[in-house]
Amino acid sequence: MKTESDSVLEQMIDTRRTSNPSEGRYEYRIWPGSGHPAIAVLNGAWTLSSAERRSDIYLLNPASDRVLVKLRSGDRLEIKRRGRDVGSIQHWSMPLSTEFPLAASDRNRLAEALCLRRILPEVAGQSAAHLLSELATRDGRVIPRTVTKSRLLFRTSGCRAEICRVGVGRWSGKTIALEAEDLASVAHAIDDLHLGSLPNRSYGDALLRLVAPHASGYELIVRMPRA
């Protein structure tokens, strides 16, 4: 039976010709509806490096599964862009991570990432609150969602993992994720932790399954199982 690491090794030569791993990280994230054996393995065999609680505001739009925009801890703008997948493993880079106020060039990159029809005025870049107020006057293509996170972070052999309790409104659940600059490290960890039976869904993908686009805007629907 072919494993995730077997599939990845077959594609690594082509990937190295077309992308630079140092420009981002390879990621694999699952959303188990209940417990998962990987939790015990991470707690028992990996090194616990830190713990964290925070709330991020995601600015959702129909392209959030490819270009993910969030206000980290509610006040720092981050844009992540998904590159070429290798099998089921995703590659993400972060072309923008900045504090407020936003420069004109940053506002232009943000408007592009959010698929806005009009540029953002200077006042929208003064603070996170100014930005959210400006987006509230637009046509509803961007929906802010506050996501609370309680994370345990682990490390081993160049790969980082997290177990995170996530809350979005009345929904809560767990997510388990791997990330590393080295593709093979993530692939081997997927096999070791038996994560490959569940799909790789980024925060953008998962949140779009809670906030589903339709012809007139967005409609809140719950599709993910409660933990």
Q: What is the pLDDT of residues 58-109, one digit of tens each?
A: 999 989 999 999 999 999 999 999 999 999 999 999 999 999 999 999 999 9
Q: Are 213 and 103 in contact (CB under 8 A)?
A: no
Segments making up each domain of the chain, as ranges? 4-220
Q: Which of 217, 209, 159, 219 is nearest to 184 (CA)?
A: 159
Give tens-digit pLDDT for 1-37.
Answer: 556 555 555 554 344 433 444 489 999 999 998 789 9
pTM for this structure? 0.86
pLDDT at 138 (0 to 100): 84
pLDDT at 176 (0 to 100): 98
pLDDT at 67 (0 to 100): 97
Give tens-digit pLDDT for 98-124.
Answer: 999 999 999 999 999 999 988 999 999
For residues 226 and 187, the model is more confident at 187
| pLDDT band, residue 206 (cuts 50/70/90) | very high
Q: Which residues of 24-35 are buried (b: 16+ CB within 10 A; e: fewer)?
A: bbbbbbbbbeee
Q: Which of 89, 71, 102 is nearest to 4 (CA)?
A: 89
The torsion of the CA quartet 111, 80, 197, 43, rounded to 10 degrees, works out to: -140
| pLDDT band, residue 211 (cuts 50/70/90) | confident
Q: Are 26 and 90 in contact (CB under 8 A)?
A: yes
Q: Which of 122, 146, 149 is nearest to 134 (CA)?
A: 122
Q: Is the pLDDT of residue 151 over 60?
A: yes
Segment 144-160 shows an average pLDDT of: 96
Q: Are 163 and 174 in contact (CB under 8 A)?
A: yes
- Mean of per-residue pLDDT scores for the chain: 87
Please give the CATH superfamily to which domain 4-220 belongs. Answer: Hypothetical Protein Pfu-838710-001 (2.40.320.10)
